[in-house]
Amino acid sequence: MHLGNLRLFCALAETRSFTRAADLNYVTQSAITQMLHALERDAGQPLATRRPFKLTLAGHYYHQYSREILRLFARLEQALQTAGDAATGTIELAACHSIGLHQLPPVLARFHRAHPRVEIHVRYGFIDRVHEQVLANAVDLGLVCYPRRQRGLAVDPFRHERLVLVCHPRQPLAARPAVAIADLKGQRLVAWNEIRWSPFLKNVSGWQRHLFEPRHEFDQVELVKCAVEQGEGMAILPEALVRAEVAAQRLVAVPFADGGHTEPLAVIYRLKKKLTPAMSNFIQALKQPAAG
C-alpha cells in the first residue's frame, strides 16, 4: 500500500470524478483507474461503483481510514522535521500565473538563500484552479490575487499591489501625472477578468460602472498587456505586473488620483492543515517587504 495511492483514492472519493481527481493531481485518468483496481485487488472487494460513481460500504471505510493514515503521516513528518532541523522539508505550492511570473521569483530566491534544504515544487494555474487544488489537498499552499472566501479555506493576505491605468505611450492620458475614474469616459478598455473580483470596482459609483465595460477581456494578464501595446485600449492592472514594460517604454503606468486602489495578494491553505515549520517560514518570507 503506497501513500500516493491513498492520496489519489481520497481525491477520487471526494471529487467523485476520475477526470477531476486526475486533473487535480497531475496524473492521467488511466492512472486513477489503475490505482482503484490495485486497491480493490488488495482489499478483495469493490470499493466503488463506476456509473454512476459511488463508494461501496468498504469504500467508505477505505476513504475514512486513508484520510486518517495520511493525517497521521503528515503529523509524523512534522514531528520528525521539528525534532531534526526546522529548516528542512518539502512544500507543494500552487500559484496563479500573475504571481508566479512577477512576485514569486524574488521571494523564492530569498527563501532558498535562507533555507537551502527546503524544496519547493511550484505548479502554475488560473486562480480558481489554485483554490481547487488547495481544497482538494493536492498542494500545501496556494498563492492567489483576489482570493475567494470559501468554506474550509484559510486566507492570509500578504501584500496589496497598487492598481494603475496602463496605456500606450501615445495615448493622451499617458502624459497625465494622475487620472480620475471620470477620465475613463469614452475610452476603450482591455480587461483582465480578475479585475471583476477587485475592491476597485466595488468602490466605483453605480452610475460610473458603465465606464468599465471592456472592448476585450482576457483571463491572462500577459495577453492584456499585449493588447494594450498594440493600441487596442487601456487596462487597469497591478503596478508590479507592468514594471518591465514601463522600464522598456512600451507601456505607461498612470496612478489614480486618490491612490487608494489596490489588488490583494494572499496565501491560502486548508483550515485543518497543520503547517510545517518550513511552510510557516515561507509564509513569513512572503510578508517581507517587496524589493523596489
For residues 45 and 204, the model is more confident at 45
User: What would the pLDDT profile of 203-243 be if each residue is shown by its tens digit?
Assistant: 565 555 556 666 678 888 889 999 999 988 888 888 888 99
- Residues paired with residue 49 on neighbouring β-strands, in sequence order: 54
pLDDT higher than threshold 60 for residue 86? no
CB atoms closer than 10 angstroms to residue 122:
14
For residues 182 and 151, the model is more confident at 151
CATH of domain 3-82: 1.10.10.10
**Extents of the domains making up the chain:** 3-82, 86-159+264-286, 160-262
Counts of helices then strands in the chain (DSSP H, E): 11, 11
pLDDT bin (cut points 50, 70, 90) of residue 161 is confident
pTM check: above 0.85 = no
Percent of the chain exceeding pLDDT 70 equals: 88
CB atoms closer than 10 angstroms to residue 16:
13
pLDDT higher than threshold 80 for residue 259? no
User: What would the pLDDT profile of 110-139 be if each residue is shown by its tens digit?
Assistant: 999 988 889 999 999 888 999 999 999 999
Q: Which fold has domain 160-262?
A: D-Maltodextrin-Binding Protein; domain 2 (3.40.190)
Same topology between domain 86-159+264-286 and domain 160-262: yes
For residues 184 and 64, the model is more confident at 64
Mean pLDDT: which of 6-10, 209-213, 262-266 is highest? 6-10
Q: Could you tell me how far CA 185 lies from the centroid of its own chain?
A: 33
> What value does the mean pLDDT of the chain take?
86
Residue 14, phi then psi, degrees to nearest 5 = -85, -30
Percent of the chain exceeding pLDDT 90 equals: 50
- The CA R_g of the chain, rounded to the nearest whole Å, is 23
Question: So what's the pLDDT on residue 117?
Answer: 86
Question: So what's the pLDDT on residue 198?
Answer: 62
Class of domain 86-159+264-286: alpha beta
Non-local (6+) Cβ contacts of 156 within 8 A are: 266, 267, 268, 269, 283
Q: Is the dihedral of CA 131, 132, 137, 140 positive or negative?
A: negative
For residues 155 and 195, the model is more confident at 155
